[in-house]
Amino acid sequence: MADALTLLPATQSGSVAGSSPGRGAREGPRRALVVGASGLLGENLCRRIAATPGWHLTTLSRRPPTIGGGGHVALDLRARDDCLAHARAFADVTHVFFCARELSRGYGISVDANGEMLVNLLDALAEGAPSLAHVQLMHGLKWYGTHVGPVGLPARESDPAHADSSFYRRQQEELMRRSVRAGWSWSTIRPHFLCAFATGSPSNLVLMLGTYASVLRELGEDLWFPGSEAAFDAVTGCVDIDLVTSAMLWAASSRNCADNAFNIGNGDFFRWRDLWPKIAAAFGMRPGPVRPTDLPRFMADKGPAWDRIVACRGLRPLPFAGMADWHFAHNNVFGLGWDVVPSLVKAHRFGFHEVVDTEEMFARLFARYRAERILP
């Protein structure tokens, strides 16, 4: 590393509620810069910020988001010179929420590309954002290596980064080095399986499940589980996106949360074996057996089946290719044959107490997709 800095575990910095103010604490109006504002998380975060008193919004993405604010910066973070040329657009920014990520075909994630995107933005902020108080990264449980194999349970924020922690370690180390020099604080949020009402997102668990169930029903089949027996029995969890965006604002603005990482989840956990009959019932189906399947290959020719569903049920004509990323579903959802259980104790101790019942969440989101004529 270029700087002589010891990177302490996240729980060794910051303090519990009632302590002295954290670094980067700011009173008065806050100007949020949401990076990746047109994505699944970014748009939902923009919606929350726009509705929260005391916050003002600036958005940054390659394509305009549906939620506007005080201004939009159309920018490709991979273009370093372009980032620096836009530095003055960040003059009033106090809080940055970095929700952007670079994905390639098949849900491939480049460590180098995602690291460079953050560096380019931080360089522009160093030049053009004198009021910057806090920078937050949206990460996930890949920090612990949950995508590679079994990890210690529960996974705690003080656990070191896994050797294959995607781009998370590189980004967090960069953030920590910069914050020491610049005086602003940082935080990272680590959820698992975002659940939301949205379209066009490769990792939207709810729409993926609904599309998969609808196609099998159209084919006259039961709702069989496409992963392994081990994945069917593994303990896992997910998180409502409204809870995530609430946690993001909490961690970025609470004095005691400075320089900390937080696992965020609904507060309950499940096995697919127990939840699967309820998902089947939501679509008027019978739960089927475990049938390990190459899901991207199986779904590759199901476009015509989806078109029949759209025509017969009067759905909005959304293209089948944009309904779900089946590589994500195959590898990250149904491909994990081990327990994934993060500890949520730290967030509770620091003052975040919101919870969501996962079964009720799925029922509510499926109902909304139907009301909006996206799922049958």
Residue percentage of the chain with pLDDT more than 90: 76
122 Rama sector, left if φ>0, alpha if ψ -120 to 50, beta otherwise? alpha
Q: What are 202's two structure tokens?
A: 């490769």
Binned at pLDDT 50, 70 and 90, residue 26 comes out as low
For residue 66, the model assigns a pLDDT of 76
Lowest model confidence (mean pLDDT) among 109-113, 185-189, 194-198: 109-113
Q: Residues 352-376: pLDDT tens digits? A: 999 999 999 999 999 999 999 999 9
Q: What are 49's two structure tokens?
A: 């910020």
Taking the alpha carbons at both ends of the chain, their separation in whole angstroms is 53
* Contact call for residues 99 and 42 (beta carbons, < 8 A): yes
For residue 110, the model assigns a pLDDT of 66
Beta pairing, strands 194-195 & 270-271:
unpaired
For residue 23, the model assigns a pLDDT of 54
For residue 191, the model assigns a pLDDT of 95
Binned at pLDDT 50, 70 and 90, residue 113 comes out as confident
Q: What is the mean pLDDT of the chain?
A: 89
The domains located in the chain, with CATH, are: 29-191+240-263 (3.40.50.720), 194-238+268-340+353-371 (3.40.50.720)
For residue 15, the model assigns a pLDDT of 37
Lowest model confidence (mean pLDDT) among 97-106, 175-184, 302-311: 97-106
For the cut 50, the answer to whether the pLDDT of residue 3 exceeds it is no
Q: Which of 30, 23, 71 is nearest to 49 (CA)?
A: 30
Query: At which residue do the structure tokens 């409502």 appear?
Result: 240
- The DSSP secondary structure of 6-36, one letter per residue, reads ----GGGSS--TTSSPPTT---S-EEEEEET
Binned at pLDDT 50, 70 and 90, residue 290 comes out as very high
Distances (CA, A) of 136 to 38, 43, 173, 230: 17, 16, 13, 35
Q: Residues 138-176: pLDDT tens digits? A: 999 999 999 999 999 999 999 999 888 778 888 999 999
